[in-house]
Amino acid sequence: MPESRIILASASPRRAELLDSAGIRFQVVPGHIDESPLPAEQPIDHVLRLAAQKAREVAVREDGDLFIGADTIVLCNGEIMGKPSDTADAERMLRKLSGVAHSVITGYAVYGKRSDTLRCRSIETKVFFKNLTDAEIRNYVATGCPMDKAGAYAIQGGAAHMVERIEGSYTNVVGLPLCEVMETLREMGAI
């Protein structure tokens, strides 16, 4: 198969860095969809739906062969945590995550435009936070880092010291389960 033109349907610099680290040639074209959960939508269904919608929405607007969409949430005691709405919301999320295990779930979709083929999968990683002090939470939120991150933290950045351990894929917590995405791209003949 000739080299595929791969489009990452995401504005996330972290997702782009992960794909780049794997030697994948791609272009970035962010998707523009409503990311609100549907009534009674389960967390895994939510991330898979959004990932597929992002990939397909960009495929309608752009030339390309394969379109990768992804969506990441943090799930803590039944609450789906997306990106915080403001600093108070970021502080609330971090207080809730303090000292407890939670799940980071990323849904990804690879859409083959020529074949009209869609492959979707979700990956879950357990993350265990230490007990956070109010000062740690305030100082971290003051950096601005939490504001565009699901669950109000970035494991690869200023929040690394908050994480005691993880069970599962590290790259999933960053925002794209790279091993699984690469396997899907292989299955679809892109690499």
Query: Which positions are annotated as active-site residues?
Result: 71
Residue 92: its H or E element: helix 87-97
- Determine the Cα–Cα distance for residues 81 and 71; give it in Å rounded to an integer: 12
- % helix / strand / coil in the chain, to the nearest 5? 40, 25, 35
Calculate the dihedral angle through the C-alpha atoms of 30, 28, 65, 186, rounding to the nearest 10 degrees.
-110
Give the number of other CB atoms < 10 A from CB of residue 180: 17
3-state secondary structure of 126: strand
Q: Write a three-state SS string for 137-189.
A: HHHHHHCCHHHHCHHHCCCCCCCHHHEEEEECCHHHHHCCCHHHHHHHHHHCC
**Are the C-beta atoms of residues 114 and 81 closer than 8 Å to each other?**
no
Question: What tokens appear for 158 in the block?
Answer: 């200023």
